[in-house]
């Protein structure tokens, strides 16, 4: 009898341990891996969204078939530094005061009450049992120190650069030593893809997809192209013959009804103007170079997707692909991001993974701020209470809230744009306004802010503006544009003084 009882107790302990182990395994299996892909300066010309001038992007098309594409996603700032800081903190620029370029290590620090104890997106995954890895441009430069368990770093700048370059260069009203200057040039270089930094970044990510892991992983991959200079090997230009290139819609006197602050913000002498591009015959060449860069990044994306699909993680990995802002290719008079208009604020956002619809497109406006909470829900992790964005999982699976959504973009202190399904409303710091009805004016050529017909709708959209507008963070600067240098000094009660140029727009 004693032996029988002892055998029963041993068996009970064995099955208890086995069940406990099974629960742990099942808990880990419920946490998918995350492949987090950022593409710099990518606008909506890719095949799955606008398919502009028959661009060749088969791997963006492939990713769209694998999951959900948001065709009307908007950034929280039309500038890489504040846009990426918003995605990684889950906070709006108006909350943090990060309106310009901020050193990665200075985003979270005691001097900023909003971010001093924030948990960055990759950190949240690490705190919940993930092995985190990252390479390339993820934050503004790469990432704060010790952000990832494994870091591949970031190649400085946006090379490689040919010895002889045409560089559009200028400061306009800028002052040497106070205002930075940037450059834009384009052409076929280098000889092959292996000389591109993005190729090395893709290789680094591919190697990590071939490894074994004891825990789920978070893998961040930041591509540099299609950021200027628009240089990629000749074969990518050959895919887009010059005689087949179209140019975006353009109206010469488009800016005649824009308020003075909007004109100041759009004063970008360091970028080519559309009038210059027309007169010089370079417009189609610039568009061709941009599309060539887009096709090149598409190729590198395809290599990473191939590696994932041939790995043991193919069926248990969430993919998110995003860009930090749109890019104007002649619209509104210039070639740049830097605006609160549609082509500067709108950028691709794509999700794929277990239990998500395949090949679905959502045209409702959404925010890049939603990336953080959406990934947490897809990974079956607890929500982070500090997130100001909303998860898009319900929208992707069940079309929840699709009729009532909106997107808010901020550019500098107290300059905001609100995008709804039909309208765009812009309010500048002095209270001046712009208003566009996309059903009749998809190019935003005619400012209807003074049209009585839209007065009630404008009042409604004002309700979406942030109630808090923090002053500029002391470590955040944008020296390339005189307006922002002056605004920061004015609102913070500082004198205009030389500021160290931060990072890679130079």
Euclidean distance between CA atoms 36 and 56, whole angstroms: 23
Residues 6+ apart with CB under 8 A from 325: 41, 75, 77, 78, 79, 80, 83, 337, 344, 345, 347
Q: Confirm whether 17 is a catalytic residue.
A: no
How is residue 326 written in tokens?
């749109």
Euclidean distance between CA atoms 123 and 36, whole angstroms: 13
Residue pair 345/409 in contact by the 8 Å Cβ criterion? yes
What radius of gyration do the chain's Cα atoms show? 24
- Among 499, 444, 452, CA closest to 474: 499
The SS3 of residue 154 is coil
| Options 140, 142, 325, 416, the catalytic residue | 140
Q: Confirm whether 293 is a catalytic residue.
A: no
Ranges of beta strands (E only) in 267-398 are 317-323, 328-329, 335-336, 349-352, 360-362, 366-367
Q: How far is CA 153 from CA 40, 52, 200, in A?
A: 16, 33, 11
The SS3 of residue 148 is coil
* 142-194-234-198 Cα dihedral, nearest 10 degrees: -20
How is residue 189 written in tokens?
């270089």
| Options 3, 17, 74, 80, the catalytic residue | 80
Ranges of beta strands (E only) in 405-506 are 407-410, 416-419, 423-427, 433-437
Residue pair 260/343 in contact by the 8 Å Cβ criterion? no
Instruction: Give φ, ψ of 10 to 5 degrees.
Output: -65, -45
| Helix (H) or strand (E) run with residue 68 in it | strand 67-70
Euclidean distance between CA atoms 214 and 229, whole angstroms: 41
Q: Which residues carry out catalysis?
A: 80, 140
């Amino acid at each position: 009898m004693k032996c029988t009882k002892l055998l029963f107790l041993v068996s009970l302990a064995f099955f208890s341990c086995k069940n406990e182990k099974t629960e742990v395994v099942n808990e880990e299996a419920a946490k998918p891996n995350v492949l987090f892909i950022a593409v710099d300066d990518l606008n909506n010309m890719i095949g799955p969204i606008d398919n502009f001038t028959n661009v060749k992007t088969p791997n963006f098309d492939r990713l769209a078939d694998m999951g959900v594409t948001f065709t009307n996603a908007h950034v929280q700032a039309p500038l890489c530094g504040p846009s990426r800081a918003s995605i990684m903190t889950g906070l709006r620029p108006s909350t943090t005061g990060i309106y310009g370029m901020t050193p990665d290590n200075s985003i979270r620090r005691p001097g900023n009450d909003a971010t001093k104890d924030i948990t960055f997106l990759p950190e949240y995954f690490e705190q919940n049992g993930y092995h985190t890895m990252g390479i390339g441009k993820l934050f503004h430069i790469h990432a704060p120190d010790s952000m990832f368990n494994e870091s591949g770093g970031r190649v400085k700048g946006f090379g490689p650069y040919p010895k002889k370059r045409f560089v559009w260069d200028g400061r306009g009203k800028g002052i040497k030593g106070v205002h930075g200057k940037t450059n834009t040039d384009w052409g076929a270089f280098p000889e092959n893809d292996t000389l591109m930094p993005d190729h090395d970044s893709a290789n680094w990510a591919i190697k990590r997809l071939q490894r074994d892991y004891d825990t789920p992983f978070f893998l961040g991959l930041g591509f540099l192209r299609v950021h200027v200079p628009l240089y990629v090997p000749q074969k990518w230009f050959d895919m887009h013959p010059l005689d087949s290139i179209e140019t975006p819609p353009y109206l010469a006197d488009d800016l005649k009804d824009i308020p003075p602050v909007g004109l100041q913000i759009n004063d970008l002498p360091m970028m080519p103007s559309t009038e210059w591009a027309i007169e010089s015959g370079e417009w189609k060449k610039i568009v061709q170079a941009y599309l060539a860069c887009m096709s090149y990044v598409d190729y590198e994306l395809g290599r990473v997707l191939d590696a994932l699909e041939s790995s043991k993680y193919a069926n248990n990995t969430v993919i998110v692909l995003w860009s930090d802002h749109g890019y104007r290719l002649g619209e509104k008079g210039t070639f740049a991001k830097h605006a609160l208009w549609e082509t500067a604020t709108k950028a691709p956002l794509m999700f794929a993974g277990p239990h998500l619809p395949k090949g679905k497109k959502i045209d409702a406006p959404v925010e890049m701020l939603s990336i953080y909470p959406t990934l947490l829900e897809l990974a079956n992790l607890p929500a982070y209470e500090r997130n100001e964005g909303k998860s898009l999982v319900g929208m992707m699976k069940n079309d929840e809230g699709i009729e009532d959504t909106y997107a808010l973009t901020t550019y500098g202190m107290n300059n905001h744009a609100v995008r709804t399904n039909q309208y765009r409303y812009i309010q500048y710091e002095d209270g001046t306004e712009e208003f566009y009805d996309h059903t009749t004016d998809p190019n935003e050529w005619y400012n209807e802010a003074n049209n009585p017909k839209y007065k009630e709708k404008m009042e409604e959209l004002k309700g979406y503006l942030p109630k808090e507008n923090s002053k500029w963070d002391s470590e955040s600067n944008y020296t390339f544009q005189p307006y922002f240098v002056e605004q920061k000094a004015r609102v913070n009660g500082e004198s205009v003084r030389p500021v160290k140029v931060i990072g890679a727009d130079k």
